[in-house]
Every structure is written in structure tokens, then in C-alpha cells.
Structure 1
Amino acid sequence: MSTPAEEADVAPVATRLSGRAEGYATLVWRRFRRSTMGMIGLVLVVMLLIIAVFADFFAPMDPKEPNLPFAPPDVIAFEDPSGNFSLIPHVYPIGDTGEFDPVTFQPLTGADKSNPTPTGFFVKGYSYYLFWVIPTDIHFFGAVDGRPIQLLGTDKFGRDILSRGIVGSRISLMIALAVVTMTTIVGTLVGITSGYIGGALDAWVQRFVEFVLAFPQLPLYLALTSLIPVTAPSNVFIAFVIGVMAVLGWAQLSREVRSKTLSLARIDYVRAAIAVGSSDARIITRHILPNVLSHVIVAVTLAIPSVVLLESFLGFLGFAVKPPLISWGLMLQDTGTFSVIGSYPWILSPVIFVLITVFAFNALGDGLRDAIDPY
């Protein structure tokens, strides 16, 4: 017979042993957080979504306000004009130093230390509506005295590239998330239904999927988006672009989900559910769909970067977003000539936003794929 002291020693052990029966989501999270790149991708994705939601708050300048065209990026430094360290960062505009290159005799430019712009956090700037309802003029970062700062320079109309990139993240990520949501829903439902029912329905559905996959997508994108009149409202144009991308993007996921469903339909618990008389809808939603979701989640995280790249490419060609809306692809239209890139290389700054987004979602997708895979 065990003593009370022995039972007290055994109780924590039993609690720990019983606590090891964790759920599937907990096990996936435990494996996922061991992936360094996956965690970096998760942090970046969360930051991108927060910046997109509160874009006006994080934008230091009005993205539509014109200033000096093709102004070079300002220099930000933690020092005052005398060169001493300062906890308050100062922004120094790029100006003419009064010196000339000894070879080309071109005027040299550099930071104008005589005209600093003090900056700070939670400063007042241009007015906007928080959550499209609450009027405010507080910004996360900006000039204390209200002077313009261009940390990434300006475009051909003198608009701040950094602010336009932050505000443009709304449209670019909204298009990507909307397209991926539609393609995921349609592709998953079609794939599961086709793979589970099989027979003639599966044959006809797969022929249609092959027909969609056989189309050269880029020429079809350009052909369909060119059907929208130039005078159409921007919202209508974006909705049409989202619809075109979704119609042409669901087929590949459908084929992948179908192959997973074919293997799951032969598992014992599915056959047992069929034997006890469960309906097809119940078997699909309660037994097959939860086991397919792991693959679908990974496919979603890997599909978002593809849509972002496609939107950027179509926007560069002028087939995705129309002014006055802002997107990363539309901003890249200014880089259409080598002379502009050579003279004003900072005009390529929107590429940084695209690269960070693609890297973040790809890293997150790779981490989830390793964490969800039971093998």
C-alpha cells in the first residue's frame, strides 16, 4: 500500500504523462516553431497584415501629395547637425555639395547637414480615417515640424515612394487574399467531390480541369482584362481582375486535392462510415475534408506569393490596377525605361515590398509543410 507521500510524488508524473495527449494543432505548432525560417516568415506575414490594415497610420507622407519629382532618398541618422549622437533621429535631404567629380566634372550630391528635419513617433500628419470611420491625423513616424521626408525618394510626380508602397500593400494583398480564397474554396470542393464520387462525374470533371490547365494563362489574362473599358470604375476593374485570376487558378489545387481524396477514400474509417450508412456529404465534410486541410493550408501559403507576383507583373503592364488606386505593380510602371532606372535607381524600391512579401509567405509555407507532414 502506497503512502500519501508516494502518491504525491506519482501525481505530477501522471499529470505530465496525461498532458502529453495533445491535439493535432498543438503538435503542429510544436514542430513549426522549431523551424527558424518558418517563424521568420510568420512574423513577417503578421507585420505585413498589420501594416496593410493600418497603412495610413504607418505612412509618413500623403501618398498622393506631389513634391519634388525624382527626389533622391533622404538620409536618416541618429546625430545632430554638429555630428553628436542624438536619441531623436534626424533626416537630412540630399543636396548639392558644391563639389565636382574630378573625372566626369558632374556635381556631387550628399546629405545636407545644414538643414536637418527632426523626426519622431506618433506625430501629426495628413488626415485620414482609421478603419474608414474614425478621423485622425496621428502617424507612427514622421517629421515633427511637418516638413516632407522621403526615405525611399519620390516618383516622377514627386509622390513619396515609401508611403505609396505602404498604402499600396492594401490593394496588392487584398487581391492576393481574395483570389486565393476563391480558388481554395472552388478547388477544394471540386477536387473532393470529383475524387470521392468518381465514375463518369470524375472523368468529365477532370477533362474540364485539363481544359482549364491547357490554356496559356498570361495571354488569356491580358485578353480578358483588356475587355474592361478604360472608363470603368477602379473597383469594377479590380473585381474583374480578381474574377479572372480566380477562374484560371483553381484547377491545379483541384487536381492535387483529388489525388489526396482518392487515397483517403480507401482508408478503413471511410469504408466503415460507408458501411454504417453515412451520407456522402457527412463523409466528405467530417472524414475527408479535415485530412485534406493540411495540404490545402500549405497550398494557400505558397499560392499567395504567386498571385502577388502575377499582380505586380500585370500592374507593370497596366492590366491590374488603375489610378487613383495604388498597388505595387502600378508603382513599377515608372521603371519602364532603362534611362529612368539608370538616372533614378530608387524608383525600383517597390520591388523590395514584393520581395519581402514573397519571401515571407514562402518561408511560412515551407515551415507549415514540414510541420504538418506526419512523416
Structure 2
Amino acid sequence: MTTEATTSPLPAPGAPLGHFVSTAPFDPLSVEAMTEEQAKVYQASQLRLMWWKFKRHRLALWSAIFLAALYSMIVICEFVAPYNLHTRNVDFIHAPPQRVHLFDNGSFVGPFVYGRTMTLDMDTLKRVYADDRTQVQRLRFFCSGDPYKFWGVVPASFHFVCPAEGGQFFALGTDRLGRDVLSRIIYGARISLTIGLIGVAFSFVLGVVIGGLAGYHGGVFDLVVQRVIEVLQSLPSIPLWMALAAIMPVTWSPIVIYFGITIILGLLDWTGLARAVRSKLLSLREEDYVLAAQLMGARPARIIGRHLVPGFMSHLIASATIAIPGMILGETALSFLGLGLRPPITSWGILLTEARSVNVIAFYPWLLYPMIPVILVILAFNFMGDGLRDAADPYR
């Protein structure tokens, strides 16, 4: 007597992965009938399936590329920036942005800027700058320019772009001290972007550990953790940030304040992740493989770390990615209010303190340009987080 195996139809080549649902018993012999594309899907790991789904989210993919480029840039921001962070051009205070040209009087010259002349308006006492078209200042690339210390250690003077010898290049203008705004935005990216990663890493550890213990053990510990989370989430964020940041002594060094702000942001952001971990572990702790691990003598820490948490790690990574923008906004808000990082450390929030006055914005609107990278990074992280969350969802 022969038994004929019943299998459901295989997905057509190129069809979306989520459209194939098997309702019949699996027959190993049917693997031989698969096409090359179907076999590729069948043999793919979970990580590869996530990558295929993530690539279909075009906006998330381009956001990830944009963020990867930014985080690569902060490693060599001294090389990318045209000027040193603290270089002052006293003859060009509050100078507006310079346009980059390619043609001069109909002839191709290459990337260049015109020289600047400055006059003082005696009625408003405002510096008025005008292009001097007799001065064609060609930009230099991969050149020796403003000296700096790479990561504050190695002396160097090599830049990606430099102004002409004896010329100036202020693509985004200068501030009240004559410092190049573009260079300061590039330097500030190192602080603003890394503080989000470090803060999320700190809150990630707290959320997984506390939420995992509360979900696995339950009882009184779970009750206490839930009440603490409810109290922290009921407090208004901005006043709490301000209160915690204000208690840091002014005598602390800038690097200590940097880590202090990071810890404060991490301490206030772990609650949402802890609740997600707790709710997941409450359902998973009743599974048979958890009981088997307990009968074999495995400790709770091993069961949580080796069997429970890895089962939804992809969801945790997506949640952490979405939490990074909140960290960046928190640092920007504290620095803007004067309670966060302090000079000589430079971040996007510190740069925006130059534009706190309405009169300053009216006369020098380019001082608001540090707001542009903040908006772009927040949007990129949100789009990438949406893509990761959709790719990690096994039910999509």
C-alpha cells in the first residue's frame, strides 16, 4: 500500500515571500521539484530573509545608506571639514554663505568662489558683504590647509576641500566669531550622532535585563518594576531632563559631562523597551522548551539570555533603532537650553544656541542651518526603523 504525500503549491519564482503559506504536510521529495529561485528561498536563513524584505522597503534602504555615510564621516570629520573647529576669521564675522560656481564669464573654470568685500552699514551697524567678481578663488581638493589634531591626538593639515591660497570658502556662512558654520556642523555630528548610540546601548541593557527579569519571574518584582515604569513615564520629560542636567557641577570636564548626559538620557528611555521585553517573556516562559531547560538545571539568566531573548532580538533591534532619534533630540534640546553639553565640545544643539534670538535669525538666517541635519537624521532613523520592524515581523 503506497501513501501519496500531499503538498501545497510552491510559490512562483519572483513572488513575494509573504504570499506563500503551506497548509499541507512537508514532503522532502518535493524539494527536488523546486526551481533555483524557490530553493534559494527555502534554504535562506532568517537573517537573509529579513534582508530581502528590508531591501524592498526602498525608503528604509536609502535611509540606512544615508546614515551609514554620516557615521563613516564622523570618523574622519577633521579631514572632511574645510576648517578647524576653532579657527576664527575675524575679517568675515557673520558672513553669508558663498555660492560655488563652475563658469566665469562663459568660460569653464572649475569649482570656485568669488572673493568678498565688506562694508559697514552705518544706519544698522550691520556688515554688508558683496562678491568681488575680479577675484576668482578656485577650490582645492585633497589639499593641505588649516592645521588640526586628528581625534585630538595626531597633528595634521590634510583636508578634502580647501579655499584658494589667501582666499576664503564659507559654504554655509560664519557665526558671530567668524567660525565656519559648515565645519562646525561636521564636527558637531560626531557628538550628536554618537550620543544617541551610546545612550540607546545603555537603555537597551537596562530594558532587556529589568524587563526580562520582570517577565520571567513575575510576582512582587514584576509589580515593583511596573510601578516604577509608570512613575517614570508619568513625569514630563523636558523638566526632568533639565533638573538632572542642572545638578551636574560646572567644574566637571566636558568629556565627563558628555557621558553624564548620555547616562541621563539612557536612564529615562529604558521603560518602553522593558515593557516590550516583559510582555514577550510572559508568553514565552510557558513554552515547552523553557520547561525542558528548567528540568535540565539551566539557571534563569541562561534561559533568558540564550533561549528567550534571542527569539525576538530582531524586534528589539528595530525598537532600539527607533529610540535613537529621541536620544538625539534630547541632547539637542538640553544643549539648546544651555543645560547639556558645554564648549569646547560642539554638538548640533550647541550650534543652535547661536540662533535663540529672533533678531539674530532675521539678520543671519544661516545660523539655523544646524537644524537641517537634525531633521534629516531623525527622519532617516524613523524610516529605517520602520523598515527593520517590517522585516523582522514574521507574520508579514
TM-score range, shorter chain: 0.7 to 0.9
Q: Assess if the C-alpha contact under 8 Å between 2:115 and 2:167 holds in 1.
A: no
2:99 to 75, 84, 92: 75
Distance 2:260 2:37 in 1: 55
Q: Assess if the C-alpha contact under 8 Å between 1:75 and 1:111 holds in 2.
A: no
1:172 aligns with 2:192: yes
State the 1:327 CA deviation.
Answer: 0.6
The residue type equivalent to 2:388 in the other structure is L
2:343 to 323, 326, 332: 323
Residues 115-165 of structure 1, C-alpha deviations (whole Å, 9 max, x = no match): 222113211112234455543211112224253211000011110000000
In the other structure, the counterpart of 1:286 is 306
Say which SS state the counterpart of residue 354 (structure 1) adopts: helix
In the other structure, the counterpart of 2:393 is 373
TM-score normalized by the length of structure 1: 0.88
**Given the superposition, is the C-alpha separation of residues 95 and 302 from structure 1 closer, same or farther in structure 2, using an over 3 Å criterion?**
farther
Say which SS state the counterpart of residue 157 (structure 1) adopts: coil
Q: Assess if the C-alpha contact under 8 Å between 2:336 and 2:352 holds in 1.
A: yes
1:84 aligns with 2:107: yes
Q: Assess if the C-alpha contact under 8 Å between 2:142 and 2:160 holds in 1.
A: yes
2:372 to 334, 352, 369: 352
1:205 aligns with 2:225: yes
State the 1:282 CA deviation.
Answer: 2.5
* Structure 2 gap ranges (5+): 1-30, 120-125
In the other structure, the counterpart of 1:232 is 252
Paired residues for 1:199-348 under 5 Å? 199-348=219-368
State the 1:287 CA deviation.
Answer: 1.7
**Given the superposition, is the C-alpha separation of residues 282 and 148 from structure 1 closer, same or farther in structure 2, using an over 3 Å criterion?**
same
Q: Assess if the C-alpha contact under 8 Å between 1:302 and 1:361 holds in 2.
A: yes
% identical aligned pairs: 38
Say which SS state the counterpart of residue 116 (structure 1) adopts: strand
Say which SS state the counterpart of residue 360 (structure 1) adopts: helix
**Given the superposition, is the C-alpha separation of residues 204 and 344 from structure 1 closer, same or farther in structure 2, using an over 3 Å criterion?**
same
Q: Assess if the C-alpha contact under 8 Å between 2:144 and 2:159 holds in 1.
A: yes
1:62 aligns with 2:98: no
Distance 1:355 1:333 in 2: 16
Paired residues for 1:119-130 under 5 Å? 119-130=139-150
Q: Assess if the C-alpha contact under 8 Å between 1:74 and 1:94 holds in 2.
A: no
In the other structure, the counterpart of 1:32 is 54
Say which SS state the counterpart of residue 175 (structure 2) adopts: coil
Q: Assess if the C-alpha contact under 8 Å between 1:301 and 1:365 holds in 2.
A: yes
Distance 1:152 1:15 in 2: 53
Say which SS state the counterpart of residue 33 (structure 1) adopts: helix
Distance 1:94 1:264 in 2: 68
Distance 2:32 2:226 in 1: 57
Distance 1:374 1:292 in 2: 10
The residue type equivalent to 2:95 in the other structure is A
In the other structure, the counterpart of 2:202 is 182
In the other structure, the counterpart of 2:174 is 154
Distance 1:229 1:282 in 2: 41
Q: Assess if the C-alpha contact under 8 Å between 2:265 and 2:330 holds in 1.
A: no
Distance 1:25 1:138 in 2: 40
* Structure 1 gap ranges (5+): 1-9, 98-105
State the 1:217 CA deviation.
Answer: 2.2
Task: State which drifts further: 249-258 or 31-40.
Answer: 249-258
Q: Assess if the C-alpha contact under 8 Å between 2:215 and 2:281 holds in 1.
A: yes
In the other structure, the counterpart of 1:51 is 73
Aligned length: 356
**Given the superposition, is the C-alpha separation of residues 223 and 19 from structure 1 closer, same or farther in structure 2, using an over 3 Å criterion?**
same
State the 1:363 CA deviation.
Answer: 1.5
Distance 1:108 1:225 in 2: 40
Q: Assess if the C-alpha contact under 8 Å between 2:143 and 2:162 holds in 1.
A: yes
Say which SS state the counterpart of residue 70 (structure 1) adopts: coil
Distance 2:118 2:168 in 1: 18
Say which SS state the counterpart of residue 137 (structure 1) adopts: strand
State the 1:11 CA deviation.
Answer: 8.7
Instruction: Pick 1 or 2: higher relative contact order, CA cutoff 8 A, min separation 6.
Output: 1
**Given the superposition, is the C-alpha separation of residues 327 and 108 from structure 1 closer, same or farther in structure 2, using an over 3 Å criterion?**
closer
Say which SS state the counterpart of residue 340 (structure 1) adopts: helix
Q: Assess if the C-alpha contact under 8 Å between 1:152 and 1:161 holds in 2.
A: yes
